[in-house]
Amino acid sequence: MRRELEPHEQAERSIIKKYRRELWGPFIAALKRYSLIESGDKIAVCISGGKDSMLLSKLMQLLERVSDVPFGLEFVVMDPGYNPENRRRIEENAELLRVPIKIFETDVFKVANNTEKNPCYLCARMRRGYLYRFAKDLGCNKIALGHHQSDVVETTLLGMFYGGQLQGMMPKLRSRNFPGMELIRPMYCIREEDVLSWRRYNNLEFIGCACRFTESAARDTGRSKRQEIKELLLELQKQDPDIEKRIFNSIHSVCLDTFPGYIQGGEEHSFLERYGKNQGDA
């Protein structure tokens, strides 16, 4: 008689078997395409308690077991001021999925929510800084975040529609303030709908957005700009199921020769700098 799988075993098996094409394949593809992991790396997997970061933790655990490239992992949870229910849910899910988390506490929510100017930006900057510092103290040289392909596409559209600029989300970045540290996004090629499907298949319940400012803002305005973009993409996908994939592919094929201006290294450039230098442009 076959033994019934434990929840963490079922979650892992589903990644390799049922969702191999949707999750495991794109995960491995991103690692190779963007050279995210190298021999000797020690990576802090940053867990917020949501579906994305919890899936990331399982993907990284599985990878460590089968990879020919030796690397180490730490599973880090920064408590920025979660309410007791969210904190308990994170701890319970980590135990259920056999993720050996290390929790450290900060006052990020308290500080960010008391500022009048752009609390979300301040919160993100503070969280990133605390994560880098804690990861470095653990001997890590990289932090891994759970952003996925849908985040990349939404961020690109947010910049276009509300920021007046074409700005993407990179698969990896070097830290400016913590020399020798890098940020990587191993789920860069995974779609959010496949993350949701994996969660539902395994009957898992994770915390949503735990930010008190976002919760209050949503009550006041009804929905965020990111939610508007999500809804727009859902409408577009009804007519064209591959629209998200094509937008994602487009940021890998930017034709600078067709843009009147661009920014590189913080410096603005105009097409006039090269205009007329090439013959036969028309």
Residue 117 is predicted with a pLDDT of 66
Separation of alpha carbons 280 and 282, rounded Å: 5
Instruction: Return the minimum-mean-pLDDT range out of 93-102, 115-124, 165-174.
Output: 115-124
The two tokens of residue 196 are 């949701």
User: What's the CATH code, domain 7-254?
Assistant: 3.40.50.620
Q: Any idea where the domains of the chain sit in the sequence?
A: 7-254
Residues in the chain: 282
Angle between helix 51-66 and 7-16 (nearest 10): 80
| 220 within 8 A of 36, measured Cβ to Cβ | no
Give yes or no for residue 219 having a pLDDT over 50: no
Place 107 in a pLDDT band, splitting at 50, 70 and 90. Answer: confident
* CA neighbor of 225 nearest in space, from 179, 277, 280, 157: 157
What is the pTM for the complete model shown? Answer: 0.90
Kindly report, residue by residue over 228-251, the tens digit of the pLDDT. Answer: 999 999 999 999 999 999 999 999
Residue 116 is predicted with a pLDDT of 65
| 85 within 8 A of 57, measured Cβ to Cβ | no
Instruction: Return the minimum-mean-pLDDT range out of 115-124, 170-179, 193-202, 269-278.
Output: 115-124
Kindly report, residue by residue over 145-158, the tens digit of the pLDDT. Answer: 999 999 999 999 99
